[in-house]
Amino acid sequence: MSTQTFLLPDVGEGLTEAEIVTWRVAPGDAVAVNDVIVEIETAKSLVELPSPFAGRVGELLAVEGATVNVGAPIITIEPAGAGAPPATPVTVGQSEHGAPREPEESGSVLVGYGSAGAVQSRRRKPAERPVTQSVGVVAKPPIRKLARDLGVDLAAVTPSGAAGEVTRDDVMRHASQASVFRNIQTPEWGDVREETIPVGAAGTRASEPAAPAASGSSAPAPDQAADDGREESIPVRGVRKAVANSMVRTAYSAPHVSVWSDVDATRTMELVKRLKASPDFADTKVSPLLIMARAVVWAVRRTPMVNASWIDGEDGAQIRVHHYVNLGIAAATPRGLLVPNIKDAQDLSMRDLARALERLTLTARDGKTTPADQQGGTITITNIGVFGMDAGTPIINGGEAGIVALGTIRQKPWVVDGEVRPRWVTTVAGSFDHRVIDGDGMSRFIADVASILEEPALLLD
């Protein structure tokens, strides 16, 4: 029987490359059809690839950390009972021309690599990875990764899961950090004065002017900097590469205009408190972000141009107005910035929207956001308040015309009926594509969002 070669498939995202993150097998290991053999990272998600063959692993053709083009061979597998004269090698995956390849001999249909159509991937529950610590602890792989990232020894964490497993909240609680989005640890200043983060040609940022060098001095050569350990180069790939490309493309193609307004959000905080106490929301997380999301959907209905896209075509440019709201929520995750969106948010009740926000957040934190969840957004919210920031001028997400930032909500002195009183105050800011919407429209939109946060009862109209 012949050696079988597995080509890196297109996992259904239309992407051209992926990074080998972790091999789940080693040369000589026995594998069965649909056993997970490798974890790859595309620009949008982590994907586990199942084996299209049964047999023993021959050779790993790509090392962990390498970026591999779709259609390139990544592993060979010797069929069980190999020993017959070699025949024409069998390949499965996708050819360099983009066409799916299948074994020449018919057999059982491999999950994720059907006999027709684009090659797809299927997530399977991964086998537990060997760890150097916390061997007796029950925790899912994403939780173990989070613990490693935070420097938490799982053996020292008290589990609270129903089956005695360590949960994400257990890890975060042990790390003594209130928010997953904040830096868990502030490193000490070291000897490294600078670091260089290379970017691919498609995502190259304009270089900042260098500070004037002292008389008679010059910058160290790249090789010299690498040798003396004073600088570090971090390859840009995966999510970081995709974010860089998108930010540069949007920042330098869409003329951004930002507006903002301070808001008395006291009644929003009162509503959040009442919803938390309501039996209808007993199993659902409620936060000011929920009211903000409803406010944005409500305001879009009054100013639909913020929910549009600028389209360049062969026959000229056009503005495409979306009469539905796929509400994007910017999420800072261990893998980088992701912007999954809630489809048709305009059709959801307050409770359904709260549940959708909770699912979206948990999925993003666990690194399970799918490409489909990040496609088709029409307008985005970024909750910079979790970082303790009052306001900002965010960059618009690609393909959209507006993004809204919710600042932190804190008590401040505020004039009410001629008297200064302590109130819960926040700032609502937004950046908009001035090609699509003018100043009056964007100002009216932000004012509408602010009105809802000041008086949520307006949502009842």
**Longest CA span, the chain:** 94
- Contact (Cβ atoms closer than 8 angstroms) between residue 11 and residue 94: no
Q: Find how far residue 326's CA is from the centre of its chain.
A: 16
DSSP 414: E
Identify the active-site residue in 174, 256, 322, 434.
434
Cα-based angle 380, 385, 390 (whole degrees, multiple of 5)? 105
- CA 222/CA 205 separation, integer angstroms: 19
- Contact (Cβ atoms closer than 8 angstroms) between residue 145 and residue 335: no
Specify whether 434 is catalytic: yes
- Contact (Cβ atoms closer than 8 angstroms) between residue 5 and residue 73: yes
- Residue 202's nearest CA partner among 243, 157, 170 is 243
- CA 340/CA 370 separation, integer angstroms: 8
Q: Is 42 exposed, middle or buried (0-12, 13-18, 19+ CB in 10 A)?
A: buried
- Residue 243 token pair: 């974010």
Q: Is 401 exposed, middle or buried (0-12, 13-18, 19+ CB in 10 A)?
A: buried
Supply the residues annotated as catalytic: 434
